[in-house]
Structure 1
Amino acid sequence: MRRRRGVLLTAALLAQLAAGPSHAVASAGAGWEPTDQCGVVRSGDTPLGGAEVTLYQAGDGAGAAPRVLARARSAEDGRFTLDYRRPQDPRAVLYVLADLGHPGQRTGPDTAPPDGPPQDGPVVLAAVLSGAAAPPELVVNERTTVAVAYALSRFTGPAGVSGPHPGLQNAAGVAHNLADTGTGDIAALLAAPPNGALTSTMAEFNTLADLLAACVTGGACDQLFDLARRPGHDRPHDTLRAAVDIAHDPGHDTAELFALAATTPTYRPALPAAPDAWTVALRYDGNGQELDGPGNLAFDAEGNAWVSNNYAYQADPAVPACGGRTVLKFTPTGRDAPGAPYRGGGLYGAGFGVTVDAHGSAWVGNFGFQGRGCPVDPTRLERSASQFAPDGTPLSPPEGWRRGGIAQPQGMAADRAGTVWIANCGGDGVTRIPDGDATRAREVPTPALSKPFGAAVDPAGRLWVSGNGNDGVQVLAPDGTPERTVTGGGLRRPLAVATDSKGYAWVSNSGILPVPCGNTTADDFATAVATDTGTGPLPGASVTLIGPDGTPAPAPFTDGGLYLPWGVAVDGDDTVWVANFGGHRVARLCGTDLTACPPGHRTGQPISPPGTGYPSDGLDRNTGVQIDPSGNVWLANNWRTVPVQTNPGGHELVVLIGAAAPVTTPRLGGPARP
């Protein structure tokens, strides 16, 4: 069955097209506005004539068939015009496929009438119209194709491009962060700081475009399709599907793919050497003066990211930074949401704790983080949580919510019943807030734990909490009753916890990091971080798997790029993603659903390259990692690689585009597929 999922995308789409122009006629009618779109098909600066250009409306829902809106054939100069009726539905996602047939066997622009049967060849280029203002002239080339392949990688299937709201719509917007459909160039966001020349992503993106050009103009299609084929899946038969397959398995045949890209140097700058993985990592920094030590993030129902922030923004690491007094909210495309960042509600020095509850409220734990030299006494400020309405209005009082024993709060989680949970690192207990009503908050002691840190709710509504101070995990019933305590299984200075759809819990083991709460100081934590010499994984770095009954796996997992694990997230395929507080890498492990893993993989076995994981020079020291409804993996650059304790905070979020299986948000238990 897994092999059948690799059926050629465009074959299904073009089969619909071959049924005749009745699809376009069916599109016309009440509620549709007539319009036209000019465009050009190119490879680099070379126009591509004779392309069968088709405009589609993506299917509304998983597996739904796309609708053909218009067709045209590109002239000798590559230009075309699509006449169609625009859907009134503002959520409709429109995209274009340009089918050029087989290299060397292309026909001229007048060989077949526009309503004749389409070509069925390996050269298929793509571009997204939705998600940005329609350009005067749409450019369809290898860059726009790579943008579609990565941003919409999780929405391609046998029926074509389709998916539910908001993931599909958000993905269409993200495609415009990669390629400019009005020029065919690198998009402005990718071309400028904190991206551009500051990371290798722009060069990697161009190299991926060169890889497609090796087929489009170089004729090396068979070689491309052989190398892009994912283990256990059908061989791709066109350039778009090949790029999608690379996005799904970015660590496969990297050196060979790089060598093929080098044969057709069309786009510049390009990579000088093969990457360890073809992950496309974008940095987001909002207005450029707000992120300073982002700790963690949580997504709302529309895929907006709420981000906790350790410090008040200060660009100079030598200038003391006091605790952050804002919560950030980023749109799915990495911009500030209206009015963001938000202030008030008792915010100060938020840590790892942020969640969105079943009613849409965002909650932030005020840990009291601040840089060395800040004159503020955080003693009272570190004992509260802040609550915000979806529009950023503070719902907590100016001093924050203080009931229920909140003390140096860290991990937070919410369940489907509306309960919000807070792990109190400085109080050796958790706070339970029923139905999101902070006036009813109560303290739940966790005597089996020291320094509660990570928190996650499983599909049954139970809370899993890690104890950084005593190498344990405790499970609480939905009403707060202690159910069991877990030790062993490699638990060592555990931090984050994530649960999967079957009720298993995955716990990151930092091995060495003592969280600075209670009797542990920030200097103790900084001393432990200083043992990271950059030469390899730190002692005890691993991930522990715990069954729903509380039984840990006999041994922890230590491969796949695990270096100094912190954040953990589980995607819609139950695949496990681990952020590292060192090593500039993300690990990806096979989860409990083996059908989502490469053939022969076992639970816990690395999917990312064993020695390196998915590395990126856009990553610093990462804490939080979460998956959005489009399948993007978001990470928090919490600290600089070489942290100066006056202001050690990092200044970006990093997003691996289309790398994971989408999840429904907000996260209210184990991951659910949209």
Structure 2
Amino acid sequence: MRLRRAVLLTAVLAGLTVGASTPPEFTGASPTGHGVVKQQGVVRSGDRPIAAAEVTLLQAGDRPGAGARPLARTRSDAHGRFTLSYRAPGSPDTVLYLTADSGPSGHPHSRTGDRVRPVRLVAMIGTGRRQGKVVLNERTTVAAGFSMAQFTQGGEVAGRRPGLQNAAAVSHNLADIGDGSAAEVLTSAPNGHQTSTLRAFNTLADILSGCTAGETCESLFALAGRPGSPAPRETFQAVADIARLPGNHPAELFALGEGRDSYRPRLAEAPDAWTIALRYVGNGHELDGPGNVAFDAEGTAWIVNNYTFDADPRRSACGSRILSRLTPTGQDVPGAPYRGGGLYGVGFGATIDPKGQVWATNFGFQGTGCPLDASLLYRSVSQFTPGGRPLSPPQGWRFGDIVQPQGAASDREGNIWIANCGGRSVTRIPHGDAVRARNIAPGGDSLVKPFGVTVDTRGRAWVTGNGSDSVTLLSPQGAPLRSITGGGIKRPMGVASDTLGNVWVANGGAVVAPCEGTTPAMVAEAVEDIVTRHVDASVTLVRPDGTTPAQPFVNDGLFLPWGIAVDGDDTVWVANFGGHRLANLCGARVSACPPGLRTGDPISPAGTGYTSDGLERNTAVQIDPSGNVWLANNWRTIPLQTNPGGHEMVVFVGLAAPVRTPLLGPPRPL
């Protein structure tokens, strides 16, 4: 018996001395010789220190299911402070994070049998060494849980680059791990008091504090658990589960935080769903009418704009001549935005080919009163290197009879497909060789106002005809195969393909594409009086053989649908030009949806979608490698036609299954 106790004691001590004990001073992270790094910090709940928490520094796994690797472990002292010493990993891409495990109110002795400690506070360090102390509290845990939602399983973090690394960086847009406060990006314009995101973030932190105090853990885990999956057993996994299905029990979760005021400001009432949506503006004077976004292999966001930036909507704006490029955390990539190559008033067309080259279609958008003749500028496509240098000439590439181009897509062979909204045709650029571009016109009225384009699993192109209530199918070589109507296809805009060979069509209903005689002012007039969901707002599934269900998919999350995207789980995301909402539908791979849902059923709240007061009139929606959902605030809610453009990209953190980028047809899971 004594031998058994001795062995057990040795094992426990070994587990607690992977890292050093805690001295009273904070000196930050510093080398201690032979590649050893010292990291100090403090564990708190609100302003209250948590003593005797088991603090662990972990190296995130480099692929799903790989598991995290502990690098050092210790306990916090009576003031919540700790110090860890560890050997720095060799790879600069390694993601590090800290966990602090304790029982309610910081009591360490809460393990019963195989029951884990219910309180796990987390701070994402990310890549590289952390200079200065680290605070772990409820805010840093909410930031970690949302940003790492798609990379967290069983309380451990693992995933592939660049999604994992980018997600860790995004966590620092939510919480400052240096002092445990809300981060500057979250607290300042265009976020801060301009939207409700900061209040939602703080309210979530207050909800966690109830469990930290030992009062609400059981209720929190029961409410946060995803249907059909085991309930979370600690607070970090609970946050990640909330982030992945934010419409699950929002009011009941809100009630858990009532009466708590550790974190302010907070929500006065329960939201429709617990989403965290950040607005990004780059350098603050570049985005004006962002129309679409495409992600490169590293997850940086290439954004096309309708108009030249002007904060005053009453001043006439001509077409934008820049190509924006933001880091995954919303700042300009050094050297961006880019100019040249014939850019002018790009609309919905942005794509990246297998070589990383960026293509933007020059629609010729401009505000009323601009003195330029748009008809001289809307007949081209611009091409840029992965570094932002223009490859197209100053007038853009003008081969292939391009006219008012809108949607664009690259396939895996590097063929570029362009929907000519003003030309009843499609331009195909074989292998990205612009001088070989050719025009494909099905003829008659089968394809009127081509708008969106996608490529399916067979390399076939599908093009929406907004003016013909149709979708046209083209062979990989560009031969017209058939025109699909019915199934509720009405004023289709965006189109996206899934991994099963289906395509998904966003039916704008009342949205008339602004080409072939229709002006943006006419579009504004058509939608200005629509204050509730239009009866023809819907989504249509088109099967690989061109057939459709008898009826489209309809719910109140759809309000003038425009853009559409499919994530790594084949679920469907819809951007709306009205209603300030994002919709999420169960896709054709029903096993990836919450139990009981069928194809086309809403995953987001059926009555509202995922709403956000950070949204305006949205065109594009795209998924990045971290599972963040990006939407373009293309127009202001009340658009003055001199300069109707919105000025932000809105990013819902951690909401979707990540995809590998660039997007070359159907999504490829990361």
Q: Which of the five TM-score ranges fits, normalised by the shorter chain?
A: over 0.9
Structure 2 counterpart of 1:411, from 402, 407, 420: 407
Among 183, 186, 202, the alignment partner of 1:187 is: 183
- Output the amino acid matched with 2:593: C
| Corresponding position of 2:456 | 458
Partner of 1:60: 62
Question: Which residue of structure 1 lines up, in the alignment, with residue 524 of structure 2?
Answer: 526
Shift of residue 595, structure 1, vs aligned partner: 1.1
Cα offsets for 1:269-303 (capped at 9, x unmatched): 00011000001000000111000000011111110
Is the Cα–Cα contact under 8 Å of residues 456 and 497 in structure 1 kept in the other structure?
yes
Pairs within 5 Å for 1:132-147: 134-147=130-143
CA deviation profile, 1:500-547 (whole Å, cap 9, x unmatched): 000111000110111111122223212112232x2x102311111100
Distance 2:280 2:199 in 1: 18
Give the match's secondary structure for 2:347.
strand
The separation in 2 between residues aligned to 1:375 and 1:218, in whole angstroms, is 66
Specify which of 248, 252, 259 is matched with residue 256 of structure 1.
252
TM-score (norm 2): 0.94
Picking from 130, 141, 153, the partner of 2:149 is 153
Change (3 A) 1:18 1:619: farther
Give, as a single letter, the amino acid of the residue that structure 2 aligns with 1:76.
A
Aligned counterpart, 1:301: 297
Identify the residue that residue 10 of structure 1 maps to in structure 2. none
> Partner of 1:439: helix, strand, or coil?
helix
2:494 aligns with one of 493, 496, 499: 496
- Shift in Å, 1:18: 7.6
Answer yes or no: is the 8 Å Cα contact 2:103–2:214 preserved in 1.
Answer: no
Provide the C-alpha distance between the structure 1 equivalents of 2:67 and 2:512, rounded to a whole number of angstroms: 52
Q: Distance in 2 between matches of 1:79 and 1:241?
A: 24
Residue 432 (structure 1) shift: 0.6
Paired position in structure 2 for 1:480? 478
CA distance in 1, matches of 2:16, 2:234: 26
Question: Which 5+ residue runs of structure 1 have no aligned equivalent?
Answer: 1-16, 26-30
Structure 2 letter corresponding to 1:611: G
Corresponding residue number in structure 2 for 1:442: 438
Counterpart CA distance in 2 for 1:446 and 1:631 is 37
Q: Report the counterpart of residue 199 of structure 2 in structure 1.
A: 203
The CA deviation string for residues 153-177 of structure 1, in whole angstroms up to 9 with x for no partner, is: 0001248211111000000000000
| CA drift at 1:231 | 1.2
Say if 2:339 is the partner of 1:343: yes
| SS of 2:205 mapped into structure 1 | helix
Shift of 1:354: 0.3
Please name the residue that 1:568 is paired with. Answer: 564
Matched, 1:212 2:208: yes
What is the match of residue 6 of structure 1? none
Report deviation, 1:441: 0.8
Q: Which residue of the partner structure matches residue 353 of structure 1?
A: 349
Query: Given the alignment, which residue of 370, 373, 395 partners 1:374?
Result: 370
Q: Classify the secondary structure of the residue corresponding to 1:350.
A: coil
Query: Counterpart of 1:594?
Result: 590
For 2:12 and 2:402, locate their aligned partners in 1 and report how far apart those are by CA, in whole Å. 64
Task: Say whether the 8 Å CA contact 1:557–1:605 is kept in structure 2.
Answer: yes
2:566 and 2:146 map into 1 onto residues whose CA distance is: 20
- Counterpart mapping for 1:11-90 below 5 A: 33-90=35-92
SS in 1 for 2:477: coil
Paired residue total: 644
Of 163, 174, 177, 1:178 maps to 174
- 2:469–2:490 contact (8 Å) kept in structure 1: yes
Q: Which amino acid aligns with 1:502?
A: L
Query: Which letter does structure 2 place at the counterpart of 1:517?
Result: C
CA contact (8 A) 1:23 1:69 kept: no
Q: Is 1:649 the equivalent of 2:645? A: yes
Decide which moves more: 602-611 or 256-265.
Answer: 256-265
Are residue 292 (structure 1) and residue 294 (structure 2) matched? Answer: no
Matches within 5 A, 1:108-123: 120-123=116-119
Give the conservation status (yes or no) of the 8 Å contact 1:214–1:263: no
Q: Offset at 1:263? A: 3.4
Q: Does the aligned pair in 2 maintain the 1:357–1:414 contact within 8 Å?
A: yes
Q: 1:419 to 1:41 in 2, by over 3 A?
A: same
**Displacement after TM superposition at 1:120 (Å):** 2.7
CA distance in 1, matches of 2:201, 2:397: 46
- Per the alignment, residue 245 of structure 1 pairs with 241
State percent identity of aligned pairs: 58
**Within the alignment, does 1:274 sit opposite 2:267 as a pair?**
no
Alpha carbons 1:354, 1:363 under 8 Å: kept: yes
Q: 1:300 to 1:23 in 2, by over 3 A?
A: farther
Contact kept, 8 Å, 2:106 with 2:212, in 1: the verdict is: no
SS at match of 2:554: coil
